[in-house]
């Protein structure tokens, strides 16, 4: 049984190692964000789109995705007297599109985040409602990683308990952690 | 070296055990969060009123801040959606670890009504998983949880790296372990590239 649990613990650890690093590094970046300089790149370009391919914001967005290297979820649609505006976004990249039917031009302002901010956006990415399929895949990894975290915890507890010489000190550490965390959680719940 | 790394790996996991549980709940709950604009606040669990008379020289934003400070509601991160409701009363809301709090200032009666929209347990744990030592003007219990959560983040990073080290130090040639790591790396890098 010990051997089996040890192998399960190792498999889970290795399967989720990349994802665990993503979450650990992005969490630390969130905590210490003021210490890091902003690292994003902004660019702007204009593309011509025929009016018939821009009948609706969705049609225009699809045309830009097919032929002008745009990808992500379509959001924040606004139609004005001058034309239409919307955002196409995916983790780490946000493109603001403004289209004028009179000129047939779509201005695309793109903001591309640096490595660490990209990690944060993958960290907070959630749900399975995205048009952009990789975002759904990241959400699936979040769920699987969370289940993996429970299993890693359960197998870890078993492996610790099998180390007889570590039971006393480990038990004290576990108890201290549980008492401290449960007390602060309960008091915060009660205070609000 | 190996023995010490193993010991610290074990102790770090035992001490951070509860944080990992909270993160696990938050991660699973995240799958069920609505898309932007689809958020429905929880039902009103309770209402409270307190007497308040605002100074006449404040604009709505300053008044909202003053009302929040005068209330017994704590741990709010910011005051949002400051507006006049259909009856012309100042209204706004804020979020605490426990859920949304809707404020309405009944100026003629010199009363503030607070509606409590409490999170369920999963949402509460999800909000607590975002805590760290310097987040929001939190009260002591939340700040202490924040220290624990922050410590657990460092412990998690250490355990991830030390776990790989322990594998390499003891059983690096296990074929299935290599396949697991390679598979995970391929999936991770592929997803990163198509997302980027």
- What confidence tens digit (pLDDT) does each residue in A139-148 have? 999 999 999 9
Q: Are residues A95 and A30 in the same domain?
A: no
For residue A14, which residues of chain B lie inside 8 Å, CB to CB?
Answer: 164, 167, 177, 180-181, 184
For residue A124, tell me if it sits in a domain. Answer: no
Which H/E stretch holds residue A83? Answer: strand A83-90
Interface membership of B77 toward A (CB under 8 Å) = no
Read off the pLDDT band of A102 (50, 70, 90).
confident
| Residue A140, in any domain of the structure | yes
A14:B34 CB<8 A: no
Domain-located, residue A175: yes
Whether residue B173 has pLDDT greater than 80:
yes
- The answer for A 110-129 residues in CB contact with B (under 8 A) is 118, 122, 126-129
In a domain, A125, yes or no: no
Final residue of a domain: which of A85, A113, A141? A113
Q: What is the ipTM of this complex?
A: 0.90
| In-domain check, residue A141 | yes
**From CA B97, how far away is CA A103, in angstroms rounded?**
49
For residues A20 and A75, membership in a common domain is answered with no
Query: Does any CB of chain A come closer than 8 Å to the CB of residue B122?
Result: no
Residue A95 lies in a domain: yes
Instruction: Note whether A17 and A59 are same-domain residues.
Output: no
**Which domain CATH number covers A107?**
2.20.25
Give yes or no: residues A107 and A138 share one domain: no
A141 and A76 both lie in a single domain: no
Residues A28 and A44 in one domain: no
8-state DSSP, A165: G
pLDDT band at A116 (very low <50, low <70, confident <90, very high): very high
In a domain, A127, yes or no: no
Last residue of a domain, one of A67, A85, A113: A113
Q: Which domain holds residue A52?
A: 40-113
Q: Are A114 and A52 in contact (CB under 8 A)?
A: no
User: Between chains, do A20 and B156 touch, taking CB under 8 Å as contact?
Assistant: yes
Mutate: best of B24, B77, B126, B168, partner A, most A CBs <10 A: B24
Q: How far apart are CA A102 and CA A104, in angstroms?
A: 6
Q: Are residues A168 and A184 in the same domain?
A: yes
pLDDT confidence band for B69 (50 / 70 / 90): confident
Same domain, A144 and A172: yes
**Which candidate in B5, B94, B141, B152 is best for mutational testing of the A interface (most A CBs within 10 A)?**
B141
How many domains does the structure of chain A reveal?
2
Q: Which of A54, A81, A113 is the last residue of a domain?
A: A113
Using alpha carbons, select from B150, B145, B155 the residue that is nearest to residue B12.
Answer: B155
pLDDT tier, A54 (very low <50, low <70, confident <90, very high otherwise): confident
Q: Which residue of B has its CA nearest to A8?
A: B177
Put simply, whether B31 touches A (Cβ < 8 Å) is: yes
Give the closest residue to B6 by CA, choosing from A80, A173, A166. A166
A73 and A27 in a common domain: no
Return the pLDDT at A24: 95
Q: How far apart are the first and last CA of chain A?
A: 45
Residue A66 included in any domain: yes
Cβ A107 vs Cβ A117: under 8 Å: no
pTM comes to 0.89
Tally Cβ neighbours within 10 Å of residue A85. Answer: 17
- pLDDT recorded at residue A51: 84
Are residues A50 and A76 located together in one domain of the fold?
A: yes
Same domain, A15 and A59: no
The reply to whether A54 and A93 lie within a common domain is: yes
Task: Taking residues A110-115, report their average pLDDT.
Answer: 94
Residue B75 has pLDDT above 90, yes or no: no
């Amino acid at each position: 049984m010990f051997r089996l649990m040890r192998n399960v613990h190792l498999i889970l650890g290795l399967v989720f190692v990349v994802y665990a690093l993503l979450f650990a590094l992005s969490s630390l970046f969130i905590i210490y964000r003021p210490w890091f300089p902003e690292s994003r790149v902004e660019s702007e370009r204009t593309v011509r789109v025929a009016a018939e391919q821009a009948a609706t914001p969705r049609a225009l967005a699809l045309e830009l995705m097919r032929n002008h290297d745009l990808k992500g979820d379509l959001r924040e649609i606004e139609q004005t007297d001058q034309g239409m505006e919307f955002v196409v976004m995916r983790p780490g990249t946000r493109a603001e599109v403004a289209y004028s039917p009179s000129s047939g031009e779509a201005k695309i302002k793109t903001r591309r985040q640096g490595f660490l901010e990209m990690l944060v956006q993958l960290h907070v990415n959630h749900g399975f409602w995205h048009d952009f399929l990789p975002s759904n895949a990241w959400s699936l990894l979040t769920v699987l990683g969370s289940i993996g975290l429970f299993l890693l915890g359960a197998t870890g507890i078993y492996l610790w308990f099998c180390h007889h010489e570590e039971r006393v000190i480990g038990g004290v550490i576990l108890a201290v952690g549980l008492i401290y965390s449960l007390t602060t959680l309960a008091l915060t719940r009660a205070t609000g | 070296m190996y023995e010490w790394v193993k010991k610290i790996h074990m102790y770090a996991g035992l001490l951070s055990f509860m944080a990992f549980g909270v993160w696990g709940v938050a991660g699973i709950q995240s799958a069920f969060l609505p898309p932007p604009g689809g958020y429905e606040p929880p039902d009103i669990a309770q209402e409270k009123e307190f007497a308040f008379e605002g100074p006449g020289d404040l604009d709505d934003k300053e008044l909202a801040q003053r009302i929040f400070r005068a209330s017994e509601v704590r741990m709010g991160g910011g005051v949002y959606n400051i507006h006049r409701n259909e009856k012309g009363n100042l209204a706004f809301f804020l979020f605490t670890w426990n859920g949304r709090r809707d404020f309405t200032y009944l100026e003629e009666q010199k009363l503030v009504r607070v509606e409590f929209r409490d999170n369920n347990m999963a949402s509460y744990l999800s909000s607590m998983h975002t805590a760290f030592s310097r987040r929001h003007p939190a009260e002591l219990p939340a700040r202490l949880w924040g220290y624990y959560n922050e410590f657990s983040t460092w412990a998690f990073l250490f355990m991830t790296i030390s776990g790989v080290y322990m594998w390499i130090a003891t059983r690096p040639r296990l074929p299935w372990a290599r396949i697991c790591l390679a598979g995970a790396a391929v999936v991770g890098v592929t997803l990163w590239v198509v997302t980027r």
